Amino acid sequence: MFSGYFIALRAVSGCPTRKLRVFAIHEPSSTTWLGGLLKLTPPWLVAELSNSTLLSVVLHPKRVGKIRNKKEKILDLGSGGGFPGILLAILKPECEIHLLEKSQKKCYFLNKTKDSLNLTNMRVLKTTIQKSSPIGEYSLITARAFSSAKNILEISEKNLMKEGKYLLLKGKIDKINEELESINTNKYKCEIIKTENEKYERHLVEIKINE
């Protein structure tokens, strides 16, 4: 029913750039639930992939951090259709990328994509996250359309390494400022980064623990 999508992924499994293009743009029939999952990859993402603006920001050494060893771990909360988790797994093969998702159908899609692209550095966690969840510690925690910034910090602070950071993909600046008002600025340092997108208002929010 939707094997063509995974066949397309396997065909480009050795080329990171082509992996990104097929993952972001290829759409099976929207009448299948898989088609619906792929449509979670929004139009603004496809546009950004074309000029690499978003990826250059997300993957900039100052944002992700310089990779010091192969044990670097990244957690993508509520991964859904695989953004940004799968993109990070494609472009950072030296990192260990964990995609946390509670939906069985979405986990199936993520695992099939992982296998088709031979992403051996990627692991799908079929679970939810709560305070003190026993899933380990991470140097970077990402999320898109998962929850408010405050809630993300509250439920995952025990899973962030001492010198780790959050990178949250958000939309309009007014909504972001409203969210950040409830964050303890004595404990956390927040920076808003605007992406270069003329059509959609999109920002990244980087959050670190104050030293």
d(CA 102, CA 122): 16
Q: For the chain, what is the mean pLDDT? A: 75
The residue that leads in pLDDT, 208 or 133, is 208
Whole-number pLDDT of residue 94: 87
Q: How confident is the model at residue 35 (pLDDT cuts 50, 70, 90)?
A: very low
Ranges assigned E (strand) in 8-87: 73-77
Helical residues (DSSP H) of 84-187, grouped into ranges: 85-91, 104-117, 149-156, 173-180
pTM of this structure: 0.76
| pLDDT for position 13 | 53
pLDDT for 29 equals 36
Lowest-confidence pick of 22-36, 65-79, 96-110, 154-168: 22-36
- Of these ranges, 31-45, 52-66, 75-89, the one predicted with the greatest mean pLDDT is 75-89
pLDDT of residue 55: 53
Count of Cβ atoms closer than 10 Å to residue 160 Cβ? 20
Q: How far apart are CA 40 and CA 7, in angstroms?
A: 20
Residue with tokens 């010091």: 68
CB 168 within 8 A of CB 57: no
> Does the structure show a pLDDT above 60 at 42?
no
Question: How far apart are the two ends of the chain, measured CA to CA in Å?
Answer: 52
Residue 70 confidence class, pLDDT cut points 50, 70, 90:
low
Look at 29 and 56; give whichever has higher pLDDT.
Answer: 56
Count other C-beta atoms under 10 Å from residue 130's C-beta. 11
Residue 165 scores a pLDDT above 70: yes
